[in-house]
Structure formats: C-alpha cells, structure tokens
Amino acid sequence: MTWLLKLYPRPWRRRYGDEVAAIVAEQPFSIALVIDLIAGALDVWLHPDVTMAAATTSAAGHNAKTTGGRMLTQVLRLDCAAGFSKRELWLSTIATIGGTILLTLAWMWLHLRIGDNPYTDSFSVLAFILPMLLGMRFTYLKDKPFSVYIAFVVTMSALVAAVLAMAAWISSLL
C-alpha cells in the first residue's frame, strides 16, 4: 500500500517517505489506513507551511551543499508553495466557493429526482472537494505543468469517489 505515498508532495516524500513506508509496510491492508493516508496527503497539500517546513529546509540545505544554493529559490518557490498573491487567493476562493455552490445545486437537483439513495447522498461531499482541488490551480499547483495538475485532480477525485462509493455500498447493506 506504499503506492499511496505518491499522493504526497515530492519534498515531503524525500524527508519522510521512507519512515512512513516502513510503518505502512508493517500494517495489514485496511480501509481506515487508506483513508488516514489520503487525509494525510490532503493535509500536506493544504498546509505546506506547517507540514513541509522541515522538508523544504532540508531540501534547501541539501541543495546548498551540492550546488551552492543554485536551486534554493526554485525549491522554496515550487515546494513550499508559500507567498500567493492576493489575486491568486481570490481566484482560488472564487473557484472553490463558486464550484461548491454550483455542484451543490446540481446535487440537490439530482437528489430531488432520484430521492434517498446512499450513493447520491455520499457523493454530496464531492461538491466541496472537487472545487477545492480545482482551485489549487491558482495556489499550490500554480507552478506545476497543466498535465500534472489534471493528473492530481483526477487521481484525488477518483480516490475520494472510490472511498465514498465504498461507504455508500456498506451503508446500503446495513
């Protein structure tokens, strides 16, 4: 299950990847573990200032030693993801809130048409998560290539959708 660690940013994996992989390798597969790792990855992407401070410091230190600090600016810019402009924060907020309103309305319409259904009910969570991931285009993923951004959004959405579908399936059995 260590493949789930690919969801974490590269500088974080460089710093903590081996340690977490060692823990994951010694645990049996469980849904709780999958959810914990996905939630952990989301936390790192959403709070790089507190979760990647040591990782970026060590990456910067490594670069300074090996290349005389040539890459320091790039590492801090790409990997710490700090220092967004006001405009970028606004765009991200508008994308997140606007998308959430639109998708919530779409979900409500679907709910009225279909009625109570564990699958449509569980997917209501995506109405917030999907716009939040899309909004990262203006913040944490602004410097990444478009293909990386799309791959990230699709992968994370698919993983969350899979977990939600599983939760809906379990609740339909109860």
Q: List interacting residues with another protein (CB under 8 A).
A: 12, 16, 18-24, 26-27, 32-33, 36-41, 43-44, 49-55
Residues 138, 91: contact at Cβ < 8 Å? yes
Annotate 86-120 with three-state secondary structure: HHHHHHHHHHHHHHHHHHHHHHHHHHHHHCCCHHH
**Which one-letter DSSP state was computed for residue 7?**
G
Residues 81, 139: contact at Cβ < 8 Å? yes
- Looking at residue 93, its amino acid is T
Q: Between 53 and 101, whose beta carbon lies closer to another protein?
A: 53
Q: Between 16 and 84, whose beta carbon lies closer to another protein?
A: 16
Q: Between 17 and 118, whose beta carbon lies closer to another protein?
A: 17
Q: How far apart are CA 82 and CA 88, in angstroms?
A: 12
Residues 124, 101: contact at Cβ < 8 Å? no
